[in-house]
Amino acid sequence: MAALELKVPAVGESITEVTIGEWLVPEGGSVKKDDPVVVIETDKVTVELPAPADGTVTKVKLAKGVVAKVGDVVGLFEAGPMVKSAKSDAESATSAKDAPARTEAVRVMPAAARVLAQAGMSAGEVQPTGPGGRVLKEDVQRTVEERARAPKAPAAVPAPRTGGAREEELVPMTPLRKRIAQRLVEAQNTAALLTTFNEIDMSAAMALRKEHQDAFVAKHGVKLGFMSFFVKAAVDALKLVPQVNAEVRGDAVVFKNYCDIGVAVGGGKGLVVPILRNAETMGFAEIEQAIAELAARAQAGKLTLEELQGGTFTISNGGIYGSLLSTPIVNPPQSGILGLHAIQERPIALGGQVVIRPMMYVALTYDHRLVDGREAVTFLKRIKECLENPARMLIEV
C-alpha cells in the first residue's frame, strides 16, 4: 500500500508558517484514525494533526522545532496494521524477560505524551489504566510520584567547589510567545498608554456569591466565580464610557455597539485571550460556563483562531497568581484593559471607624489618544459601584 503524506494543515487565513511541535506518535508507532499524531504550533493557536486512518507512522520528515509552511509534508503514514521495525523487534526481545508480552502497541493519550516527554520517560515504563490499555496522564504522574518517593542511596559528599555551576540553555521561543512579544512591543510603541487605579471592597460580592452558590451550581452546573461579576460590571461601564470600547483606526475613531470581552487565561504554551462574543447579552451562568470551557480548551491547546480574534476590551486577572498591583498592557487595537488583583484583608476607614475588609486593587490601562483621564476614572468608579453593590446586577438562580 502506498504511503500517505502527513501535511501541515491550513490553520487560518493569515497563517502561512508554522513550527513543528511534539511528535505524539514516534516513527514506527501505531495510531487509530483521528488520534493526534503531531502538534503544529503557530503564533496564534496550537493544533494537533490527526491520523488519516488506523495505521503506522513510517517516517518523521520534519522534527520538533522545524519551521514549515502550510502544505509541507511532515511525515509519512501507512494505513493498516502496525508495521514492525527491526528496532522494535529487538527491543521487544530484550524486554521480554522483564515484562509480559503485549498483543498490541501501547496507545498514549496526548496529555500523557507531553508529561512523558517532560519526565524523560517512555510509555513502556508506565502501567496503563485507560480504556483499551491506553496510557493516561494520571498513569504517568503516578509513576513519576512513585519514583520520587522511592528511597535513594546516600549521595557521595562532593568535593568542595570554588564556584557554582554556570550553565546556559538556549531554548527557542514558540511562535505564540514570539507573537505575544510582538504585540506587547507594538502596544507600547503605537499607543499612548496610561494606567489609573482604584480599590474595591469585595465584602458584598463575596457575601452574595456565598449566599447563592449552592443554588447557582444546582441550576447551572457550574460555580459562580468573581469573573462573571467583573464581566457584567465591565459591560455596564463600557456602555457608560463607550470610548473605552472603541478603537483608533487611522484618523478616525470606531465605536462599537457590542462588547466582545477578552478574558486572559494561562494556556499550555503561554497567555491567551479567548473572546466572549456579545457579552452584553450573556447572563452570569452563560459567562461562567463559557469561561470554564475556554480555559479548559486553552490548557489543552484546542482553541481555534477565531476564538482569539476581534475582542473590543480585555480583562486580565493576575490576582489568581497572587499579584497585588500591576499595570496591564493594552491588546491593540483595543483601547483598554482591566487588571484584577488579589483580594486581601486590609484596614479601611468606614463611617468614622477603622474596619477590616477584603479589598482588591483594580487597574485600567487605556489609550490616552482616545480616552481622557476623566473617562478612565469614571469607568473604574462604575466598576467599583457594581462590585460593591452587586444586587443591582441580576443573578440567574
Residue 161 confidence (pLDDT) above 70: no
> Is there a contact between 302 and 221 (Cβ–Cβ < 8 Å)?
no
Give the pLDDT confidence score for residue 170 in this predicted structure: 84
Catalytic-labelled residue, pool 34, 89, 214, 372? 372
Whether residues 136 and 251 fall in one domain = no
Catalytic-labelled residue, pool 34, 89, 214, 368? 368
> Is there a contact between 25 and 285 (Cβ–Cβ < 8 Å)?
no
Q: What is the rounded CA–CA span in Å between residue 44 and residue 18?
A: 10
Q: Is 372 a catalytic residue?
A: yes
Q: What is the rounded CA–CA span in Å between residue 169 and residue 163?
A: 19
| Least confident piece of the model among 161-165, 223-227, 242-246 | 161-165
Do the domain assignments include residue 341?
A: yes
Whether residues 92 and 110 fall in one domain = no
Instruction: Give per-residue pLDDT as tens, 182-197.
Output: 877 888 888 899 999 9
Give the pLDDT confidence score for residue 177 in this predicted structure: 75
Identify which of 42, 9, 40 has the alpha carbon closest to the alpha carbon of residue 24: 40
Residue 86 confidence (pLDDT) above 50: no
Give me the domain span that covers residue 45. 1-98
Whether residues 115 and 2 fall in one domain = no
For 347, the 3-state DSSP assignment is: strand
Do the domain assignments include residue 79?
A: yes
Whether residues 91 and 135 fall in one domain = no
> Is there a contact between 291 and 232 (Cβ–Cβ < 8 Å)?
no
Higher pLDDT, 134 or 95: 134
Q: Is 220 a catalytic residue?
A: no
Question: Total structural domains in the chain?
Answer: 3
Q: Which residue type sits at 137?
A: K
Q: What does 44-111 look like in DSSP terms, one character per residue?
A: S-EEEEEPSSSEEEEEE-S-TT-EEETT-EEEEEEESS----HHHHHHHHHHTTTS---SSPPEE-HH
Residue 152 confidence (pLDDT) above 80: no
Give the pLDDT confidence score for residue 182 in this predicted structure: 80
User: How high is the mean pLDDT of the chain?
Assistant: 84
